[in-house]
Amino acid sequence: MTGKYENKNLKPGSFPYIWERISHNTGAMVGIAVICLIIVLSIFSPYILKHNYSTINLSNAGALPSLDHPFGCDEVGRDILARVLYGARYTLSIGLLSTLFASVVGIFLGSVAGYFGGVVDMFLMRFLDIFQAFPQLLLAMTLVAIFGTGLDKCILALGISNIPGYARMTRANVLNIRSNEYIEAAVSIKCSTWRIITKHVVPNAFSPLIIAMAMGIANSGLAASALSFVGLGIQPPKPEWGAMLASARNYIRAYPHTVIFPGSFIMLTVLSFNLIGDALRDAMDPKLRD
């Protein structure tokens, strides 16, 4: 799987290095291609497609896939293809933004805990322990109970429920690196703290975080559709994939084809990010380095 890499001068941990290794992984390339395709289609779909995602046309209710409507129509005659492509915006934006939020806050908390140690560390970790006594999805649901439903609140709820994971990971990395000998060596030659952080700590803590973020986008996207499915996330008639499945469920006997497409797209998106994450993990695993 990992062959010889031409350019051995690339610095491990840097973007060119990562790209070099990922580009040899078929799964990752497919994943990246699919995500890019979905993003592009989602942005341009209202301009390219014949039908609008919200136009109701009861005479077409439950229409099977045809040339006019490649994915068919839903229970009130809306074009499923248009809805599915538009709906990507919700899943991708929630996935991305909640992960960004969680990672930024989590990295901050984790670094503080790891760097200062002592009481600060203990206090923060006990606090995170309480959060982690709840399964993530349930915590998100409870937060939705408080904040309410809607795109921004969904992002916030999912973001908060993911913070402990990033905080712990960062803290472990910081502790690990602090005690590493090359930090001692850097300090002993009077390397400045800032330089130590940027040149030593960040590149090494970086890799597991990037992998976690790739997986995190997949998980948050999945969680967002799960929340919308039970009515606690994005509400219909917005074409979020989970919400679409919830409406389709009510008509599953009459129009079974309506449940196929939104679910497939959820799976496709999650699969793509997982493939990218797996490839990143392989790329950064020192045991697999040539």
- Interface residues with another protein (CB under 8 A) are 126, 129-131, 133-138, 141-146, 148, 218, 222, 225-226, 229-232, 242, 245, 248-249, 252-253, 256, 259-260, 262-263, 266-267, 270-271, 274-275, 278
In the bound state with another protein, the residue whose beta carbon lies nearer, of 32 and 266, is: 266
Q: How far is the CB of 225 from another protein (least distance, A)?
A: 6
User: Which of 73, 91, 77 lies closest to 261 in space, CA to CA?
Assistant: 73
Q: At how many degrees (to 10) do helices 80-116 and 260-284 cross?
A: 30
CB of 284 to another protein, least distance (A): 16
- Cα(272)–Cα(232) distance, integer angstroms: 25
Q: How far is the CB of 154 from another protein (least distance, A)?
A: 14
Could you give the residue ranges of the DSSP H alpha helices within the chain?
Answer: 15-22, 26-48, 80-116, 118-132, 136-147, 151-178, 181-188, 193-196, 202-229, 241-250, 260-284
Strand partners, 79: 73
Question: What does the DSSP 8-state code read for residue 233?
Answer: S
Q: Which is nearer to another protein, 96 or 271 (CB)?
A: 271
At 14, the amino acid letter reads S
Q: CB-wise, 183 or 211, nearer to another protein?
A: 211
Closer by beta carbon to another protein, 85 or else 232: 232
- Looking at beta carbons only, is 108 or 251 nearer to another protein? 251
Torsion sign (Cα): 259, 36, 161, 213: positive
End-to-end CA distance of the chain: 11
Q: At its nearest, how many Å lie between another protein and the CB of residue 20? A: 19
Min dist. Cβ of residue 232 to another protein (A): 6
Under a CB-based contact definition with an 8 Å cutoff, are residues 52 and 79 in contact?
yes
CB of 279 to another protein, least distance (A): 12
Nearer to another protein by C-beta: 87 or 262? 262
Burial (CB count within 10 angstroms: exposed 0-12, middle 13-18, buried 19+), residue 72? buried
75 phi, psi to nearest 5 deg: -70, -15
**What minimum distance in Å lies between the beta carbon of 141 and another protein?**
6
- Pick between residue 106 and residue 277 the one whose CB is nearest to another protein: 277
What phi, psi does 9 have (nearest 5°)? -90, -5
